[in-house]
Chain A
């Protein structure tokens, strides 16, 4: 059986943070990625805050709330047990995120987030306790094996024995940067050290994406090649300028001009 870790906190708002820290640590140990860990933290925060604000109505009678984390091979399960009056949060109507500002309800978002952030949420009342169970699926370990699903999302096209075009798309953030890294590494490993990264379809780049580009740039340069960027959207240009990457990389307005500027092969 998988290991369960437990924590009990007094039913007070200022204690919720400790429960968050506890869940973050357990989720990290269970192998969840940074995004999934954040989701678990927020779901637990929202659930505990609801219990303290509504279940106990801020009435601190020394009651405790128990949090249990269980790591299973394919899922991370958090159970929250409290002794406040029976209340099934799942029966409450969720607020509507498409509501315009004027008609927005201030409350109800806690449970909305819990449901959005977790893969499965269930409630039961047992032994005079509310039991809320939150489940986050653990994504299959991403393998670095070539030909894995990650590569497909960022197509690469070899130009010749020394150069390739890589075309990432969408958002380059912590959940997608690994795919880019794999695509770039695969080319470097096969001796192609001139990497033309066409950024035309990239909408957003987070620091994890920037890190991957710099690492590839460094490795390409060590091997006598380069990472050449093209087609950066204005928002990305700005990010690049902010972090000084415009000085590091050769940047061209589009792929054609990047390739046209390619040094003659020796």
Chain B
């Protein structure tokens, strides 16, 4: 297993829990999992990165692409529980000011 995504359909939110490593070989898979929800009209998304031990810019690119897409329809993509390292990378790319980032999944889901 390199990356695993589990999707939960919650009342107001689609929750994506990602485990493993997100890089250029599988970032598109993560993007299309989120796209599928948006296609179904579900645009309030929470991406729980608690299990992500590593993420390259390919993963960030997908996150930004999906964020742009859901913002157009009044939705949002919010991030929960990034590791110290992933958080640092988000900050380096200036994404901490573009994404709402929550320390826990509960808070991210509850923020909608």
Contacts and interface: CB of A to CB of B under 8 A. Distances in A.
B57 A13 contact: no
Interface stretch (A73-81, A102-110, A128-136, A158-166): A102-110
A107 B94 CA distance: 14
Interface string B54-68: 101110110011011
B92 A116 contact: yes
Given A53-B24, A109-B57, A38 B85 contact: yes
Contacts of A53: 24
B23 interface: yes
A263 B60 CA distance: 52
A101 B61 CA distance: 12
Contact of B103 (A45, A49, A109, A239): A239
B57 A113 contact: yes
Contact of B92 (A96, A113, A235): A113
Contacts of A20: 54
A238 B103 contact: yes
B71 A101 contact: yes
A101 B85 contact: no
Contacts of B68: 101-102
B104 A238 contact: yes
A59 interface: no
Nearest to B71: A101
A62 interface: no
A42 B89 contact: yes
Given A16-B24, A42-B56, A206 B94 contact: no
A244 interface: no
A168 B70 CA distance: 40
A190 interface: no
B25 interface: yes
- Among A35, A109, A112, A242, max chain B CB count under 10 A is at A109
A84 to B, nearest CB: 16
A98 interface: yes
A247 to B, nearest CB: 18
Contact of A49 (B58, B71, B107): B58
A64 interface: no
A92 to B, nearest CB: 14
Given A101-B71, A116-B92, A238-B103, A106 B54 contact: no
Sort A-B residue pairs by CB-CB distance and give the 10 closest, nearest first: A97-B94, A109-B57, A49-B24, A38-B85, A45-B56, A206-B84, A13-B25, A116-B92, A173-B84, A101-B98
14 contacts: A42-B54, A42-B89, A45-B24, A46-B57, A53-B24, A97-B95, A98-B94, A99-B94, A101-B98, A104-B98, A106-B64, A173-B84, A174-B84, A238-B107
